[in-house]
Structure 1
Amino acid sequence: MTDIVTPELEQYCHEMTGQESAALQALAQATRDRTRYPDNMSGRLVGQTLKMLAALSNARRVLEIGMFTGYAALSIAEALPEDGEIMCCESNPRAIAIAEEFFAQAGLSHKLNVLFGMALETIPSIEGELDMVFIDADKKKYQDYLEMTLPMVRQGGLIIIDDALWKGKVLTPQDERAQAIADLNQHICQRNDVENVLLPVRHGLNIIRKR
């Protein structure tokens, strides 16, 4: 199982979702042209969802775990206030270079703070409360990322987990990553300190609000 919704319906949703900025369109094209795995990019549906959630929650300090070339990060940054900041955990120097290039072109370099290295090692260096966290990195470590960042998020803040349906494979997990995500989804909906909604956006978005 690879499609959560039919390709035709997903394409319709894509077309009926607000257009990305010129900066995001340029970054998306560069990601397709200059990387081996452009499908790792979030894309318009996820990017615009994140941008809207950041705006609705009045986010100012955001953490992204797994930046890749920065499409999701730039989407969020566009919604942050002028003094806002998105801290991004990433260990791929080539991906970081692309992200920094297009943040600069968009005039938003002052909002980007790249934390180079493995996320579980760099996250403890962050001080102060977070308004929003976006998790899109090693699926087998999703539980660790959640447990590490939830205490850092302010009351009412958001944690958004990408690939939360893992292309539909959570229904009948056949590998370690699918099982890890299925277990995490079950864990989240049973917690009393958060509320959540799991949406079939692209490969699934689990949106969590800290009580």
Structure 2
Amino acid sequence: MVLKMLNAKKTIELGVYTGYSLLLTAMTIPDDGKVIAIDVTKKDYDEVGRQFAKKAGVEHKIDFIESQALPVLDDLLSKPENWGAFDFAYVDADRNNALNYHERLVRLVRVGGVIIHDNTLWGGTVAVKDRSMIENSRLFAWKDTLRLNTALAADPLVEICQITLGDGLTICRRV
């Protein structure tokens, strides 16, 4: 729905895994649209998602880049024609770089465009002040998630909306 409301044509996705959200994006954007999909490994997408993209007839819309995301984002930003050129970005990648991703994406996404950060409730741990109350499997990204949420709330370049479904989504509208 968000992609349709934006009339999104040029999108970027950080963290692909098997490609579920990538497939949805590719199916929603117009036939001449593009999704730059970045993940450190293509293996899971090749084994699972690619077949569905091919079957859906949207494989030509996907530009998969097997890489760490920051160098790719920096490369995109090195070209002024990319500044504000994207309609939409979806972030479901390593938590320790979430704020770094946002700082770059806010320059790549156009005013009126949207950046969505996944897992911003981090199992509800963002509401917990006492570290000892958090299970070990969540501790590794707890502080990074808190830091991202704090920065998003204070960022004058976006308006935010927290969606409390699943592990939380934060929708950022670029202003």
TM tier, smaller: 0.7 to 0.9
- Paired residue secondary structure (1:87): strand
Task: Quote the residue 2:66 is aligned against.
Answer: 116
Q: 1:143: Cα distance to partner?
A: 0.4
Query: How many angstroms does 1:93 deviate by?
Result: 2.8
Q: Deviations over 1:132-171 (max 9, x none)?
A: 1100010111001001111011011100000010110111
CA contact (8 A) 1:90 1:96 kept: no
Moved over 4 A (4+): none
1:19-53 deviations in whole A, cap 9, x for unaligned? xxxxxxxxxxxxxxxxxxxxxxxxxxxxxxxxx11
Q: Deviations over 1:76-131 (max 9, x none)?
A: 11110111111110122321313222211111011111011111122233352111
Q: 2:101 aligns with which of 132, 137, 145?
A: 145
Q: Which residue of structure 2 aligns with residue 88 of structure 1?
A: 37
Q: Which runs of 5+ in 1 are unaligned?
A: 1-51
- Counterpart among 183, 187, 194 of residue 151 in structure 2: 187
Cross-structure match for 1:13? none
- Normalised TM-score (structure 2): 0.86
Tell me the equivalent position of 1:70. Answer: 19
- For residues 88 and 203 of structure 1, do their structure 2 counterparts lie closer, same or farther at Cα, with a shift above 3 Å needed? same
Show the counterpart of 1:24.
none
1:202 — aligned with what?
Answer: 166
How far the C-alpha of 1:176 sits from its partner, in A, is 4.2
TM-score normalised according to structure 1 size: 0.72
Q: Is the 8 A contact 1:134 1:160 kept in 2?
A: yes
Q: How does 1:96-175 map to 2 (within 5 A)?
A: 96-97=45-46, 98-126=48-76, 128=82, 129-172=85-128, 174=131, 175=139
Amino acid at match of 2:154: Q
Question: Contact 1:90/1:116 (CA < 8 Å) preserved in 2?
Answer: yes
Q: Is the 8 A contact 1:89 1:116 kept in 2?
A: yes
Measured in 2, the distance between the counterparts of 1:108 and 1:117 equals: 22
| Aligned-pair CA distance for 1:64 | 0.3
Q: CA deviation at 1:180?
A: 1.1
Choose 72-81 or 119-128, whichever is displaced more. 119-128
CA-atom RMSD in angstroms: 1.3
Gaps of 5+ in 2: 132-138
Task: Give yes or no for contact 2:12–2:35 (8 Å, CA) kept in 1.
Answer: yes
Identity of aligned residues (%): 28
State how many pairs are aligned: 160
